[in-house]
Amino acid sequence: MCYKRMRILAAIICLVGVLAGCGDKQPVPVALPTTEAVQSASPQVTAAQATAAPSEVQAAPTPSPSPTAAPTPVATPETEPTPTKKAAPTTLPSVPKSNKLVMIDPGHQKVGNNAPEQVGPDTRETKAKVSSGTVGVKTKKPEYVLNLEVSLLLKAELTKRGIHVTMTRETHDVDISNKQRADMANEAGAALVVRIHADGDASASTKGFSVLYPSAAQPAVKPIAADSKQAAGFLLTGLQQATGQKGRGLSARDDLSGFNWSKVPVALVEIGFMTNPEEDELMSEAAYQQKLAMGIADGIEQFVNGK
Ligand SMILES: [Zn+2]
């Protein structure tokens, strides 16, 4: 009995010993589990990689939408005033296309000056130095107020475009004759003078903008006649495109002191009729004033950059 047990024990010990000893000699079984482990690990790793990969991809797209979102707000602001300001500085450095000075002359002033003034160097005829202009039939707004409103918008627009601007007046309480305004531009060496006025007529139905330029019939203005007419054409086109209206066209004038004394190209924009009720009100609307300023600025920019 004991012998059998001992044999069984010995057999077990031997088995254990064989098994233990076989570890080194039987790499196969060891290798098998290893292979299995690798195989099973591989899919796991692959799965892990796959899992990781998508997460990275997801992470990548996440930042992508962010940049995409960034440009979106940039584009959105373009329509807003704030982004426009951001765009302005970017435009400014690239726009100093011209150092040429543009003078804006907002027509008239609060109190007219009826003292006589020679209409031009080629005539002894005289006219009042400067009047206070017409008045809105509906708005009751004086022309000198409307002229300055639009002129200031124009100045802002030109400045935004990098065009050097100066003005004959920025307040109503001044006393500057039409000849003196021309002298100011002559002395400043302006590349172009744009005079801003509003019209009046006996007929309430008369309406529409027009652009005046000095008539070459006046010997004194011959040197500036062609350039002035070209500028007037650009201004008219700019106004037409900005407002969608045809307007009343161009008009050569030899009776305006502000033209005849000018030694630099000059044009006068009559933005519309204050004696027409509808146009009178329209010209006081902020959106329409901005259109006028944009159209006039387009014309000025074309003239100044074309030189
Ligand atoms: Zn006027």
Cβ atoms of 132 and 143 within 8 Å: the answer is yes
Instruction: Say whether both 53 and 164 belong to one domain.
Output: no
* Tokens, residue 149: 């409103």
Residue 247 confidence (pLDDT) above 80: yes
Instruction: Say whether both 35 and 109 belong to one domain.
Output: no
- Identify the weakest region by mean pLDDT among 41-50, 98-107, 148-157: 41-50
- Closest listed residue to residue 274, CA positions, set 107, 132, 134, 148: 134
What's the domain count of the chain? 2
Mean pLDDT, residues 230-255 taken together:
98
Cα-to-centroid distance, 83 and ligand 1 (Å): 36
* Tokens, residue 290: 């901005």
- Closest listed residue to residue 185, CA positions, set 117, 250, 251, 268: 268
Contacts 24+ apart (CB under 8 A), 17-22: none
Neighbour count for residue 136 (Cβ, 10 Å): 23
Cβ atoms of 277 and 137 within 8 Å: the answer is yes
Instruction: Say whether both 180 and 280 belong to one domain.
Output: yes
What residues are paired with 9 via a beta bridge?
A: none
Cα-to-centroid distance, 132 and ligand 1 (Å): 8
Cα first-last separation, the chain: 127
Q: What is the pLDDT of residue 306?
A: 84
Read off the pLDDT band of 106 (50, 70, 90).
very high
Cα-to-centroid distance, 128 and ligand 1 (Å): 13
Mean pLDDT, residues 47-60 taken together:
37
Buried b / exposed e over 59-70, threshold 16 CB at 10 Å, is: eeeeeeeeeeee
Instruction: Say whether both 52 and 108 belong to one domain.
Output: no
Instruction: Say whether both 120 and 248 belong to one domain.
Output: yes
More confident residue, 33 or 213: 213
Q: What is the pLDDT of residue 307?
A: 53
Is residue 125 in a domain?
yes
Is residue 69 in a domain?
no
What radius of gyration do the chain's Cα atoms show? 42
Instruction: Say whether both 16 and 162 belong to one domain.
Output: no
Last residue of one domain, picked from the residues 59, 76, 91: 59
Instruction: Say whether both 118 and 250 belong to one domain.
Output: yes
Q: What is the pLDDT of residue 143?
A: 98
Neighbour count for residue 38 (Cβ, 10 Å): 11
Cα-to-centroid distance, 15 and ligand 1 (Å): 122
Cα-to-centroid distance, 106 and ligand 1 (Å): 9
Is residue 65 in a domain?
no
- Closest listed residue to residue 235, CA positions, set 206, 216, 255, 213: 213
Q: What is the pLDDT of residue 30?
A: 40
User: Where residue 211 sits, what CATH number does that domain have?
Assistant: 3.40.630.40
Helix H or strand E segment including 127: strand 126-130
Q: What is the pLDDT of residue 53?
A: 36
Cα-to-centroid distance, 199 and ligand 1 (Å): 6
Mean per-residue pLDDT of the chain: 79
* Tokens, residue 252: 């050569």
More confident residue, 132 or 95: 132
Mean pLDDT, residues 26-30 taken together:
40
Mean pLDDT, residues 302-306 taken together:
93
Instruction: Say whether both 291 and 234 belong to one domain.
Output: yes
Is residue 68 in a domain?
no
- Residues 213/218/224/228 CA torsion (nearest 10 deg): 10
Domain that holds residue 176: 100-306
Is residue 251 in a domain?
yes
- Identify the weakest region by mean pLDDT among 75-79, 172-176, 210-214, 217-221: 75-79
* C-alpha span between 19 and 9 (Å, rounded): 15
Q: Taking the complete model, does pTM exceed 0.85, yes or no?
A: no
Instruction: Say whether both 118 and 15 belong to one domain.
Output: no
Cα-to-centroid distance, 213 and ligand 1 (Å): 14
Instruction: Say whether both 32 and 127 belong to one domain.
Output: no
Q: What is the pLDDT of residue 196?
A: 98
Is residue 114 in a domain?
yes
Instruction: Say whether both 278 and 139 belong to one domain.
Output: yes
Q: What is the pLDDT of residues 169-216, one digit of tens each?
A: 999 999 999 999 999 999 999 999 999 999 999 999 999 999 999 999
Cα-to-centroid distance, 111 and ligand 1 (Å): 13
Is residue 252 in a domain?
yes
Q: What is the pLDDT of residue 5?
A: 60
* C-alpha span between 170 and 172 (Å, rounded): 7
The percent of residues above 90 in pLDDT, for the chain, comes to: 64
Q: Which residue has the tokens 């650009």?
A: 234
Cα-to-centroid distance, 198 and ligand 1 (Å): 5
Instruction: Say whether both 14 and 150 belong to one domain.
Output: no
More confident residue, 64 or 278: 278
Is residue 93 in a domain?
no
